Structure 1
Amino acid sequence: MRIFYCAVLLLLPLFALSQANYHDGYVVKANGDTVKGYINAREWAHSPEVIEFKNSKSDKDALRFSAADISLFHITPYDTYVSYTGRISNNRNGFPNMDKRLDTTKTQATIFMKRVASGPNVTLYAQSDNVKTRYFYQEKSDVVTELAYYYYYNNSSVTTVVTKLYVGQLLLLHKKYNNDNNKNRSTIENSNFVESDLVKSINIINNSSSTTSNTQKGTEVVRPSNNRFFVGLGLTYTKTRFKGQNPFDGGDGGKTYTPKISIGYDAFANSQVQRVVFRGELSFNYISSKITSTQSATSGAVYSFNQGNFAFTPQLIFNLYNTDDLKLYVEGGAALTFSFFSNDKIVSGNSNITNQAKPYDVESFWLSYPFQIGAVINKKFDVSVGYTPSATYTRYTFFTLSNEVIGLNLKYLFNKK
């Protein structure tokens, strides 16, 4: 069961990549003609090689355009991709996927580049494939130039060499457009080869404090954040039971209703599409369980305990229905739970069993596999129903003690703008 459950979680992102998600947009053909319609905005792991375009959402078939077919496409209101034909670097520079020597070779290619920062002086583009992520800049309507960065092993394959040529390229742009003003120069000098740092550097060169990544018809459009925080409150029904060779196997009781509080963090695979979400949640609930033996030899004996549960649950969310105002999702993950126990005891119902304190060895750390279905309403409220199959927290050979949980949850989402 657990193998099947994990396989489903691993396959969800692949399923997401195949889902159609058409947004308003347009393409610009090589002759300069602009055609409005709808573009399938997928959860692209890398820059798209081909896009699917429809004049109307009701069209049965979609047109397919590569970077050789069009000069630009825009997905309203955020993403603009520009076609580029030229030489691109071949070196691998992302740890641990690195070259064992300096590789300065380049390949002729026609690609889609995503516009990630723009301004009056310089525009920054990004492109990624199975080799690496590349960044390019363009001065106004000048030629496109790749930012150069080399990170490779030396001949011993033990130590590494870092060559940040892109810093020099950016400093030359800074000198050209800022009269070599030393203000914010250190930000460029200390920048890493990541999008956030490069966007800051381009904004400095453009004399702009904006962190927006795109413009549409001359007006800056703020992209949605790639992440958000949330707080939650829930109600849980917990069924605690023994199974196996134990006098409380099949016993009555062990059913509690308790509140649960949670906080967490969501990260989107694609901030515009928001079909796939990676969630980390920290929660707490507290139960008081009593299990009464129904077996004749120990009839009336009661095993009771209090259990506080702190759980960290990494999860994967997939939106089956995905619009701005309403999202319907399925969610799965693995809960890493730390529990503390108190008042752990057996009270006898007859002379065949004696009173005992702490009669069983229970685990402080244990694992469970929760599953949820839910809805996000108006980007603010997340309502879900969850189920956690029986998860054990004992290590006995012939019996187990476990919790099975059904929960109703309400979360408030703090969406960044």
Structure 2
Amino acid sequence: MTFLTTQCFLTYAGFQDVHVMIFIGFGFLMTFLQRYGFSSVGFNFLIAAFSLQWATLMQGLLHGLHDGKIAIGVESMINADFCTGSVLISFGAVLGKTSPLQLLIMAIFEVTLFAVNEFILLSLLGTRDAGGSMTIHTFGAYFGLMVTRILYRPNLDKSKHKNSSVYNSDLFAMIGTIYLWMFWPSFNSAITEHGDPQHRTAMNTYYSLAACTLSTYAMSALTAHDGKLDMVHIQNAALAGGVAAGTAGEMMLTPFGSMIVGFLAGIISVLGFKYLSPILEAKLKIQDTCGVHNLHGMPGILGAVVGAITSSVVPKEVYGNGLKKVFPDVANGVRDTSYQGAMQAASIAVTLGIALFGGLVVGFILKLPMLGAPHDNACFEDSIYWEVPGEEHHMEELTAVRTEEDEKLNS
């Protein structure tokens, strides 16, 4: 009885850590825009509260039914938060360019597709992805990137002066970064088996984050002309190690291996922010506001690849009696380690396929005029949706400009 009580307490403690990441970490991380702080935190709050309820239903219907009823518990709450995290990653890609109604509709479809992808990977393919490098980060990033590609705004330069940070907004965003960085070991280990797998996951994530932070600082200074640090890199790339350790965290990655993974994740993420994001916008017309491709997309794929390699090359004898907790199908003789690795690799393709196709369809749905997307000159602006103290005059100016543009279009 005492053992079960301790397990429940540890699971609930992990849930609380994940909950903090969803509502504070993600929310404040997106407050870097100078005039969009209310919306970043406020819409994050709205979408998360809606998504976790919808996720409980969708995940429950697909793989949580017991005697025809959806089983609810702390673990299902954690899984709902994981699904919500994927939606919030996509939110980062379209941040500042969408209405609350568009975001809620995106959440309805994305949660549903997330549950389908999760069912295919975990239930049908037997994939191991405790920290969600594939199911959460890769899926959320590429779904959001496809949506923002379909919602491309050729005249977004009208709001370009607001698509930037100021001193205080960057400071607020660092609050989100620190919360996420601190609680990421709990995020990755929240639903792993108690005992060695959970300890390994927390440990591997811990060292991956530490190494990632060092490589982020180094690369940020090296890629700058004057050697100064870029706050965008520190806010985001320093977290890439947590993303990259998501799939292989519970495996025999070892602290040394996890530090290598984190170190590479930091480098990839910084280079993405510095060089790849401008190319994606100029050539592929992908306007990724938060740079989710660099923080979640590429590190997520890195983590998935590391998971496939680790599951293939580490002999099952290394796990000893704990093999059944990490790879139950391998322990039962249903498959060998090579086959497990192949399923891990195949899961990357499945995730990318569902995310990109789903984002394509949802993007076209969100283009419907009735959903109230903000005008090109009113993007990244709180006063469109919020009562902002002292902004009444500014709101009147925006309304006048918007009315003038509508009249020109109608004529």
TM over 0.5: no
Q: Tell which structure's C-alpha radius of gyration is larger.
A: 1
Structure of higher RCO (CA pairs closer than 8 Å, 6+ residues apart):
2
- TM-score normalised by length of structure 2: 0.21
- TM-score normalised by length of structure 1: 0.20
Query: Which structure has more strand as a fraction of its residues?
Result: 1
